[in-house]
Amino acid sequence: MLKLEGIHAHYGHIHALRGVSLQVPDGQIVSLLGSNGAGKSTTLKIISCLMRPKAGSFEIDGESMLSKSSSDLVARGIIHCPEGRRLFGEFTVEENLRIGAYKRKGGSEVEADIEKVCGYFPRLKERMRQRADTLSGGEQQMVAIGRSLMGRPKLLLLDEPSLGIAPKLVTEIFEILSQINAAGTSILLVEQNAYMAMKVSHYSYVLENGAVGLEGDSREMRDNDHVRKLYLGG
Ligand code: ATP
């Protein structure tokens, strides 16, 4: 279980997070929503230990992470799948996937995990030898998620997987996120696409100006007229 409590974070004089509290229980998909500049990426930076909060606590399974490093988090199975296309463009799909398993010695487990990733994303199987920078945006996103899965995450931190991707592929990717979750990986899903994120997640938080403005069971929030009007376009 990941838990943030009363997190404040600053960039110089900009007060980006103002007392953010949230939880990702084991086995769940939790979405973190909000418009541009609301503080979603900053929250992810705190969780990835790329930035230290000014105040508040950050715990995993009851242990404080405030003095830990990004590699401590990876060692605990928390893997950050970054926004967009940060793949090694000149490398093939397969090489990119193997990079995700760099902590492991290789051998049959890595091969089995590549097969598993291809099970989730069959279209990658046909493109194993293709250079990553020649893939469509949606396919690159699939490789990015696949590469994170190669690290066998307990908790996957996903930054805007729908960004700049055709709606049909977004639906496909979100369905696969449900399958990945059903196989035992918890997911913190950072999204601007509130409708899709609420559809796939168990619980949602909406950030507004660096604070949680609204939170609740995703299905209840989606069915709530007030939320629909404010966040889901009516
Ligand atoms: P987006 O969806 O546009 O990525 P976000 O919800 O992820 O937005 P953050 O990137 O966390 O929002 O930004 C929160 C606030 O902190 C914003 O006001 C932003 O301008 C500010 N901010 C973010 N990064 C920096 C930085 N490196 N230096 C100064 N201010 C920053």
- Residue 39 CA: nearest ligand 1 atom is 11
120-148 per-position pLDDT tens digit: 999 999 999 999 999 988 899 999 999 99
What pLDDT, on a 0 to 100 scale, did the predictor assign at position 191? Answer: 92
Helix axes 137-149, 108-120, angle to 10 degrees: 140
CA of 205 from ligand 1 middle (Å) equals: 17
Closest atom of ligand 1 relative to the 83 alpha carbon: 4
Confidence category of residue 233, pLDDT binned at 50, 70, 90 = low
Distance between CA atoms of 180 and 85, rounded to whole angstroms? 20
CA distance 131 to 198: 33
Token pair for 158:
């996903």
ipTM value for the complex: 0.94
Query: Quick one: pLDDT at residue 52?
Result: 95
The Cα–Cα gap between 170 and 138 comes to 7
Band of residue 72 on the pLDDT scale cut at 50, 70, 90: very high
- Tell me: pLDDT of 230 over 60: yes
Residue 84 reports pLDDT greater than 60: no
* Percent of the chain topping pLDDT 90: 76
**Does position 234 have pLDDT exceeding 60, yes or no?**
no
Q: Between the CA of residue 173 and those of 27, 73, 168, 213, what are the distances in Å? A: 19, 25, 9, 27
d(CA 166, CA 11): 34
pLDDT at 225 (0 to 100): 83
Nearest CA to ligand 1 atom 9: 39
**Is 231 a residue whose pLDDT tops 80?**
no
* Mean pLDDT (whole number) for 114-124: 94
Q: How far apart are CA 173 and CA 112, in angstroms?
A: 21
Of all protein residues, the one whose alpha carbon is nearest to atom 18 of ligand 1 is: 37
Q: What pLDDT does 101 receive?
A: 86
* Residue 119 confidence (pLDDT) above 90: yes
**Predicted confidence band of residue 219 (pLDDT cuts 50, 70, 90):** very high
pLDDT over threshold 90, residue 44: yes
So what's the pLDDT on residue 106? 63
Q: How many residues does the chain have?
A: 234
Residues with beta carbon inside 6 Å of ligand 1?
Answer: 11, 14, 16, 34, 36-42, 192
Name the residue at shortest CA distance from atom 1 of ligand 1: 36
For 105, residues 6+ apart whose C-beta sits below 8 A from its C-beta are none
Distance (Å, whole) CA 3 – CA 21: 7
The confidence score (pLDDT) of residue 85 equals 64
Residue nearest to atom 2 of ligand 1 (CA): 36
Atom of ligand 1 nearest to the CA of 34: 6
Mean pLDDT of 141-167: 92
Mean pLDDT of 12-38: 96
Share of the chain above pLDDT 70, in %: 97
Chain-wide mean pLDDT for the chain? 92
